Amino acid sequence: MNLDLAQAYGLGLVVLIMIKEMGVPVPVPRDLLIIGAGAATARGDSPPIVLLAALIGASVVGGAIQFGLLRSVASGAVLRLLSRVAGEERIATQAARLRNAGARGVAIVRMTPGVRIPSIPACAVAAVPLPAFIAGLAIGNGVFIAAHFGLGFVAGEAIVYTAREFLGPIAIAIVALAIIGAVGWVVLIRRRRRDAERHLLETEGRWADACCPVCLGAAAAATR
């Protein structure tokens, strides 16, 4: 990958992560994107620390924008939109837990697959103070992104070599992984949801946030 292409890819990914953190329901698994970014930097196409810092920074900016909208005059419309994806009951339940949790509580939910999606609207509903929210958001997002980025970086050379040799099978494997992730979320959500429309919307929202096997395992533990 030449330098210009690598920079364009990195910039595009940073913008996409910020948009997703703003609450825009982009149907692309966040964790697979970050793993891919780590794998790309393993080749030396771009400085890994710079890209990692940019991804974390973009996620904090996007999350802060979403929180600000939810605490503004537009809160009603934005909350109704997010409730369709995150689930109104889940937002209310998490808000009750976060009301006095402080930055530590925000950080924990932001780094935990399965509960990340409703965490920002829940913080807004719970009226978490802005300094505590920003601190928790930065720590939680930092851990989540760094873990997936590191996974991609460590396995980067193997991923790139395998992709060169077995591009077709790898493409099929990626699609299969995404499908498995979607099915996994369907199974997890069905344990607690019966309404068909809400079930499908929440499944899409969680799949778009995280669908790697590690995240699915953590989410399964979190839903028990």
Whether pLDDT at 187 is above 70 = no
What span, in angstroms and rounded, lies between the C-alpha atoms of 206 and 196?
A: 16
What span, in angstroms and rounded, lies between the C-alpha atoms of 100 and 109?
A: 14
What span, in angstroms and rounded, lies between the C-alpha atoms of 144 and 34?
A: 10
Looking at residue 203, what is its pLDDT?
46
What span, in angstroms and rounded, lies between the C-alpha atoms of 86 and 79?
A: 10
Evaluate whether 82 touches 121 at the Cβ level (below 8 Å): yes
Looking at residue 152, what is its pLDDT?
86
Token representation of residue 114 = 């399965």
Whether pLDDT at 3 is above 60 = no
Please report, for residues 74, 85, 115, 211, the alpha-carbon distance to residue 90 in angstroms, rounded to integers and kept in the order given.
21, 10, 9, 19
Token representation of residue 59 = 């996620």
Phi and psi, residue 210, nearest 5°: -160, 130
Looking at residue 101, what is its pLDDT?
85
Q: Classify residue 129 as exposed, middle or buried by CB count within 10 Å of its CB (0-12, 13-18, 19+).
A: exposed
What span, in angstroms and rounded, lies between the C-alpha atoms of 185 and 189?
A: 6
Range of the domain at 133: 3-222
Looking at residue 20, what is its pLDDT?
87
Mean pLDDT of 185-196: 54
pLDDT band at 165 (very low <50, low <70, confident <90, very high): low
Looking at residue 224, what is its pLDDT?
53
Looking at residue 83, what is its pLDDT?
65
Please report, for residues 119, 138, 151, 201, the alpha-carbon distance to residue 59 in angstroms, rounded to integers and kept in the order given.
14, 8, 19, 22
Cα-to-chain-centroid distance, residue 64: 15
Token representation of residue 111 = 């780094």
Interhelix angle 30-41/3-21, rounded to 10 degrees, is 150
Task: For the full predicted model, state whether its pTM sits above 0.75.
Answer: no
- Total of domains in the chain: 1
183 C-beta neighbours (distance < 10 Å), count: 14
Whether pLDDT at 7 is above 50 = yes
Token representation of residue 70 = 């939810």
Looking at residue 199, what is its pLDDT?
46
